[in-house]
Amino acid sequence: MNFLDNLGQQWLFIGALSLFPILVWLFFLRKNLPAERRYLWLTFVAGMCSVLPIKLYEKYWDQGVMYLEHTNLFVYFGDLLVLNNASSLLAYIVATVTVVFGIFVFIALMMMALETLTGDNSWRVFRRKLKKILETPFFFISVGVLCGLVAFAGILSLHEKVWLFMIVGMLEEFSKHLVLRFSDEEKIHSVGEAIQFSIVVALGFAFVENLQYFSNISQMSLFSWPEFMMLVGLRSLVSVGAHVSFSAILGYFYGVAKFANTIYQQEVLEDRHPLIEKIHQVLHLKGAVLFHEQKMMEGVMLAMILHGIYNSLLEFGYVSFALPMVGMMLFLVVSLLHYKKLLQKNGVLVKRRFNNESLLSPPVIQPSPLV
């Protein structure tokens, strides 16, 4: 429903509606967000930019690239489910690799421009980060290919829309996580800070999605004013909370993977990873590297699956199940922020209480047992 005749007033109203829930979430999570406000806002802007490659992909996925007639993964996956042959599987895999690397290159160029223009980093620092971040596309490609193989083999029978929502979740989490890595790789000194920055990226992403969603429904004549405001409230609470949860969960696993050397060594002493130790002994692969890969894959898969389940519940009308799901995820995130307050500095993994220290200043390590 078009509530305002003046276009400027309408956009101001929509912008305020979109920003309000973000500010509410920032206030609610203020004690668990990065202390350095400049980094917080730069990360928020980067999170807003993470929507751009997804929207551009949706706009141009009918265009051919190299040997592909189009790059619409949903069509390729639908063909895989229907035809279930080797050629459809191969086409889906090639399309997945093309799309993931395409998004990676776009975000790398976008973040390079953003970081250099804002003075956040020099080209030299960005180039060093790029070498570390090159691993990221392979995790998401692996998960996408795994979905294709599972569907091809018929191991898991799911509705086509559920599979498609899994792919949506994979692409959105990939975009948000890439922006996090490019924006804050060198600023993250703890598992907790990895979660914090992930939340800020998610809020930026959710803000732009809110703008688009509220703009679309404001043009419809299907909703009365109370119905419109109810939709705004649900979107503000549920969808933003879901984005925060997915990104925070992946951020936690990324944080653990980032500090794999120290965390793994401590957990080996507790004999918590006998399988990794066996693989290390047989293949002579570094245990901490295997631990890093394992945690990243766990985080990517869990975020993607939760995202897919959430979207599926909404699609099939099970809102009453989606609401408690988001509530439980948020409870988990808040628990992680309060329980898993870990700091990795100079090779020492300790518990500490987050305060208003700058992310660039050395932490104050209070007497506490090693985790």
Residue 275 buriedness (CB in 10 A; 0-12 / 13-18 / 19+): exposed
Please spell the DSSP secondary structure of 246-282, one letter per residue: HHHHHHHHHHHHHTHHHHHHHHHHTT--HHHHHHHHH
For the entire predicted model, the pTM comes to 0.83
pLDDT along the chain (371 residues), means of 10: 58 80 81 75 91 93 88 93 92 95 94 85 82 89 92 83 90 93 84 88 91 77 70 79 93 86 59 51 55 85 92 88 91 77 41 36 33 29
Is position 2 within any domain? Answer: no
- Residue 289 DSSP SS3: helix
Question: Which amino acid appears at position 44 of this protein?
Answer: F
Is position 357 within any domain? Answer: no
Q: What is the pLDDT of residue 353?
A: 34
- Report the percent of the chain where pLDDT is more than 90: 34
The helix or strand, by DSSP H or E, that contains position 101, with its residue range, turns out to be helix 86-118
Number of C-beta neighbours around residue 29 at 10 A: 19
Is position 358 within any domain? Answer: no
Is position 371 within any domain? Answer: no
Is position 94 within any domain? Answer: yes
Long-range contacts of 367-371 (CB under 8 A, 24+ apart): 370/266, 371/266, 371/342
Is position 240 within any domain? Answer: yes
Digit-coded pLDDT (tens) for 147-182: 999 989 888 778 888 889 999 999 999 999 999 999
- DSSP for residue 370: B
Backbone phi and psi for residue 349, each to the nearest 5 degrees, phi listed first? -105, 115
| Number of domain units in the chain | 1
Q: With contact defined as beta carbons under 8 Å apart, do 80 and 152 qualify?
A: yes
Is position 50 within any domain? Answer: yes
List the domain range (segments joined by +) for residue 21: 7-351
| C-alpha to C-alpha distance for 52 and 58, rounded to whole angstroms | 10
Q: What angle do CA 115, 358, 118 make, to 5 degrees?
A: 15
In 3-state terms the chain splits into helix, strand, coil percentages (rounded to 5) of 75, 5, 20
Q: What is the pLDDT of residue 221?
A: 62
Q: What is the pLDDT of residue 284?
A: 43
For residue 73, give every residue at least 6 positions away whose Cβ sits within 8 Å of its Cβ, in sequence order, or none: 61, 92, 95, 96, 99, 144, 167, 171
